[in-house]
Chain A
Amino acid sequence: MAQVSHKGFTEAKNLFITEDSIFLREKVNGVLVLEDNIIEVNDLEYSFGEIKAVDNINFVVRRGEIFSFLGPNGAGKSTVINILTTLLPMQKGKVIIADHDLRTEPEKVRESIGIVFQELTLDRDMTVRETLEYHGRLYSMPKAQRQARVNELLNLVELEAKRNVLTRYLSGGMKRRLEIARGLMTRPKVLFMDEPTIGLDPQTRIRIWDYVRDINREGTTIFLTTHYMDEADQLSDYISIIDHGQIIATGKPWELKNALGQDVIYLETSDNQGASDILKKLETVRGVRDKSKGIIVMVNVDGTYLLPEIMDKLRNGGIKIRAVNLKKPSMDDVFVHYTGRELRDTGTEKAVVVKPGRR
């Protein structure tokens, strides 16, 4: 059992946000117990020339978990995944994956992980079976084991019928499934998935999610990056929100949402500023934030019962209400709460410029 006191954890104040979160639960006699951590990342930094793509990132992933990096394009998610999968060299920091130090034992790390890349990386000129076969051979799997595993995985991702079809003739969803099967070919301890459902239609996405859950249930730890709120919310045991190369918050999906209070009320009024001032005085209101046309009120109690009170207060203050909406906090709200901007609007506006000259 490895007992390690972790500088990275004590310094990263915003790493975990609630009392019962993993960090505190793991503390035994003041020493962090890491025996169950399959990924430990400490003070990770990476720069492309002058541009810092990853800035002092710390996190742990526990064995058997689905852990997500949620953030906009260009937030540094792919850079982190590329470092963890040894495609980019380590510049600064310490990473342990499946008990191997990424810096000193990259080959051991490679043997322990599987990867599903963001872009399709299938050879169009190979068949489905050959794709898996090639992968198994790359990892020196014995022939019998390779064949058994190919059958097993084609069954899992429902591609038996396509066994001898060139990958160029597969649909987008099938290609994704094949890539997932390929990532699982060697029974990795951790499966890295970079934006696994990007560019897929809603039904296919849900199907891919089912596979991800199945795989996880069988014991594979999954680290995924996504810029889809619902994906992170639906799949993850833990989420780290990442923006501008930094982790802004980490927690279980419900913990992150609870930080916003129990409910979120959207109001459009004749005087948004006045309304905001009135509501901020209420004890049951956790915070108020401006939107382009209205305001968002985060409340600590059941909004269904608080809403009439709010409306009365505003009416008494001489403020006319034009529109009301009450909902549970969504991941979108969580993201805006922590980053101050909306995920879908950010696009590549502040995207990290990857090496010039690359494709």
Chain B
Amino acid sequence: MHKGFLTIYWRDMLRFVRFRTLLFTSLIQPALWLAFFGIAMSNNFERLTATLPVIPGVRTVGYLTFIGAGVMAMTTLFTSLFGGTVLLFDKNWGLMRETLSSPLPRIHIIVGIGLSAMTKSLIQAAVIMGFGLLLGVHFFEGYTATQILISLFGIMLFIGAFSLGFLFLSAAIAITMESPEGMQAVVTLLTMPFFFTSNALYPANSFPPVLRALSAINPLTHLVSGIRYFAIGSDFSSIGIRYTYTQGEAITSFVALLAFAAVMFLIARWRFTKVTVT
């Protein structure tokens, strides 16, 4: 098998590790989300929901724990959606000519960049999770060591599939756009609906029907649900609402993420066959 995608992966990771500022800010930003937004909202919600009766027989988790999964998912969304920008710069600065005029099949560029963005997302998610645990996010409570390992593995799978899907989308946009400004605008516009129609920061159960439908097909919702399933459990309550999430639903979510990634991959491949860089 041609290992060309590893070359692309190698180069992108080289730059990621080399530029410590970028590395540092990409890790610090989500941590700040959790620290400021998480703690501020957490205190408000605790006060508002203090009078609500505790749902019997179900574990209740705090808001910080609830959005801990949301912030991890959000960070993955942003990192992946902006992850394709490197291709736009390569294209505009002529660097991509070297790659495109080489015998490397173009599909390897997509796969290589996809894997490197996935790696970055996993590193970020791990750092946010660690930071969250320090701040008081109650993940993996009452789990045995084996259960924790299985959960971590499940979370990795979900984040991996999700980040690949959005990276492919980002790559398709990057290779189509002419300017970084245009790319920035399009991506920012995209993040809004994905982010706010998901259950990352608040429960989607009380949405109006249209928003709830959007939320149900939103890959971000599936990722957040998946992370909560593994990190918190299949049945818990938070801010006065009970969440149940069966194994079957988790598998459905994962398959949905894989399907999303597959469709985005096909779109990216199609955009790449169209590109001429001279």
A86 adjacent to B101 (CB under 8 Å): yes
Any chain B CB within 8 A of the CB of A134? Answer: yes
Any chain A CB within 8 A of the CB of B127? Answer: no
How distant is A195 from chain B, measured CB to nearest CB, in Å?
13
Q: Which residues of A contact B178 (CB under 8 A)?
A: 357-359
Given contacts A134-B7, A138-B4, contact A125 B100 (CB under 8 A): no
Within B83-135, the residues touching A (CB, 8 Å) are 92-95, 97-104
A130 adjacent to B98 (CB under 8 Å): no
Any chain A CB within 8 A of the CB of B18? Answer: yes
A138 adjacent to B278 (CB under 8 Å): no
B98 adjacent to A138 (CB under 8 Å): yes
The listed residue (B18, B92, B94, B278) touching A125 by CB distance below 8 A is B18
Q: Which residues of A contact B97 (CB under 8 A)?
A: 87, 115, 117, 121
Spot the interface stretch: B8-16, B40-48, B211-219, B236-244.
B8-16
Given contacts A111-B103, A125-B18, A126-B11, contact A135 B4 (CB under 8 A): no
Given contacts A87-B276, A89-B276, A125-B15, contact A120 B10 (CB under 8 A): no
Q: State the CA gap A117–B97 with chains docked (Å).
A: 9
B7 adjacent to A88 (CB under 8 Å): no
Within B1-53, the residues touching A (CB, 8 Å) are 2-4, 6-7, 10-11, 14-15, 18-19
Given contacts A88-B278, A354-B278, contact A121 B98 (CB under 8 A): yes
Any chain B CB within 8 A of the CB of A214? Answer: no
How distant is B230 from chain A, measured CB to nearest CB, in Å?
36
Within A117-140, the residues touching B (CB, 8 Å) are 117, 119-123, 125-126, 130, 134-135, 137-140
The contact size tier of chain B is: 20 to 34
The listed residue (B4, B101, B104) touching A87 by CB distance below 8 A is B101
Q: State the CA gap A125–B14 with chains docked (Å).
A: 9
How distant is B45 from chain A, measured CB to nearest CB, in Å?
44
How distant is B17 from chain A, measured CB to nearest CB, in Å?
11
Any chain A CB within 8 A of the CB of B55? Answer: no
Q: State the CA gap A122–B96 with chains docked (Å).
A: 10
Any chain B CB within 8 A of the CB of A36? Answer: no
Any chain B CB within 8 A of the CB of A312? Answer: no
Q: State the CA gap A359–B277 with chains docked (Å).
A: 11
Q: State the CA gap A89–B101 with chains docked (Å).
A: 12
Within A100-118, the residues touching B (CB, 8 Å) are 107, 110-111, 115, 117
Q: State the CA gap A354–B102 with chains docked (Å).
A: 23
Q: Which residues of B contact A121 (CB under 8 A)?
A: 93-95, 97-98
A85 nearest in chain B by CB position:
B101
Q: Which residues of B contact A262 (CB under 8 A)?
A: none
The listed residue (B3, B7, B19, B103) touching A107 by CB distance below 8 A is B103
Q: State the CA gap A123–B15 with chains docked (Å).
A: 10
Given contacts A107-B103, A121-B95, A135-B98, contact A126 B14 (CB under 8 A): yes
The listed residue (A87, A119, A140) touching B100 by CB distance below 8 A is A87
Q: Which residues of A contact B14 (CB under 8 A)?
A: 126, 130
Any chain B CB within 8 A of the CB of A300? Answer: no
Q: Which residues of B contact A107 (CB under 8 A)?
A: 103
Q: Which residues of B contact A358 (CB under 8 A)?
A: 178, 278
How distant is A83 from chain B, measured CB to nearest CB, in Å?
10
How distant is B6 from chain A, measured CB to nearest CB, in Å?
8
Q: State the CA gap A85–B10 with chains docked (Å).
A: 25
Q: State the CA gap A121–B15 with chains docked (Å).
A: 16
Q: State the CA gap A86–B92 with chains docked (Å).
A: 18
Within B132-155, the residues touching A (CB, 8 Å) are none
Q: State the CA gap A140–B3 with chains docked (Å).
A: 8
Q: State the CA gap A115–B96 with chains docked (Å).
A: 13
Any chain B CB within 8 A of the CB of A82? Answer: yes
Q: State the CA gap A105–B266 with chains docked (Å).
A: 24
A139 adjacent to B92 (CB under 8 Å): no
How distant is A86 from chain B, measured CB to nearest CB, in Å?
6
Q: State the CA gap A120–B95 with chains docked (Å).
A: 8
Given contacts A87-B278, A107-B103, A125-B15, contact A120 B94 (CB under 8 A): yes
B179 nearest in chain A by CB position:
A359
How distant is B66 from chain A, measured CB to nearest CB, in Å?
40
Taking beta carbons and an 8 Å cutoff, which residues of B are in contact with A? 2-4, 6-7, 10-11, 14-15, 18-19, 92-95, 97-104, 178, 276-278
Taking beta carbons and an 8 Å cutoff, which residues of A are in contact with B? 78, 82, 85-89, 107, 110-111, 115, 117, 119-123, 125-126, 130, 134-135, 137-140, 182, 354, 357-359
5 extra A-B contacts, CB within 8 A, seeds A123-B11, A358-B178, A359-B178 = A82-B278, A88-B278, A89-B276, A111-B103, A138-B4
What are 29 A-B residue pairs whose CB atoms fall within 8 Å in the complex? Answer: A78-B278, A85-B101, A87-B100, A87-B276, A87-B277, A110-B102, A111-B103, A117-B98, A119-B94, A121-B93, A121-B94, A121-B97, A123-B15, A123-B95, A125-B15, A125-B18, A134-B10, A137-B4, A138-B7, A138-B98, A138-B99, A138-B102, A139-B102, A140-B2, A140-B3, A140-B103, A354-B278, A359-B92, A359-B178
